[in-house]
Amino acid sequence: MARKSSSDSGGLIFKTGLFALLAAIAFWIFNQFGSKEPAAGAPDTGLPGTTVAIPKPEPTVPDAILPVSAANTVVRHTYFTISYSEDHEQAEWVAYELTRERLDKNWVERAASFRPDPEVRTESATPRDYTGSGYDRGHLCPAADMAFDTLAMSESFFMSNMSPQLKAFNGGVWRELEEGTRDWARRFKRLYVVTGPVLSRAGLGQIGFSKVTVPAAFYKVLYAPDQHRAIAFVIPNAGSEQPLMDYAGTIDQVETLTGIDFFPGILKGPDEELEGALDKNAWPVNSARYERRLQEWNKRR
């Protein structure tokens, strides 16, 4: 190989020096005139032009309202907590607090971003498990109950919060119960809600690669702490023309059916008697909504 001449070496040194000089000038100009503020909405670290990731808020669901977990896989999201059943690839229960204050806030845009739950260590079901199955990805904790906050809405679309529901059920009697629950939360100021599929009885088969169990029925257990009132519902996973209150019962009845102990940190001692009591008149329903279910919702099948 031919040896480079001294003139070639000199030219290389000159170019390298010129590049270093230009880089130094550019750095000086940026420091003098460039933006030293963090990006909009990002926290200031104290260093010019730097930001840090915003930490996820701590979970807000009180431990006292959580049932005992038979599956022993409790996942705490920010505004709801689940007990995930790997055998059925869905939650055995979802627990959260529903308040008038949250419901009265302006609702954020519906996320509609179904995705696996990264917090389930055994891996949750996936959206593809439901594709072509004939079943809805039915929310256990409704998206509308989480519409007060962008993060709450987003987390409600984790697949750990989904269970296979027939469209006639999801968009019919179950929808009426979900909307009625929000009515009661506004009336009573706050409710403790536990809801889930009935996994203690034979289901309607399985769907998807993950073999997600299709429950034959779903339950919802409600407790109004300020009024010391409770009610529970068990509804078959099917369309219905029956009035909502036909499905109402006591907490004891749902505990016997599911094997789950509800509100063990609250309803104990003398208060445990409430689990066997039911006063339907204390939970008024919207008769116009029932008529709308019969005339509109039940026909969208």
Query: Quick check: is 228 catalytic?
Result: no
d(Cα 272, Cα 137) in Å, to the nearest integer?
Answer: 35
CA nearest neighbour of 64 among 268, 288, 278: 268
Is residue 103 within 8 Å of residue 82, measured between CB atoms? Answer: no
d(Cα 70, Cα 185) in Å, to the nearest integer?
Answer: 28
Which one is catalytic: 77, 88, 139, 228? 139
CA nearest neighbour of 90 among 178, 262, 207, 231: 207
Backbone φ and ψ for 123, nearest 5 degrees, come out as 75, 130
d(Cα 250, Cα 279) in Å, to the nearest integer?
Answer: 9
Is residue 173 within 8 Å of residue 235, measured between CB atoms? Answer: yes
DSSP E strand boundaries for 100-197: 136-139, 162-165, 190-197
CA nearest neighbour of 198 among 88, 298, 95: 88
Q: Which residues are known catalytic residues?
A: 139
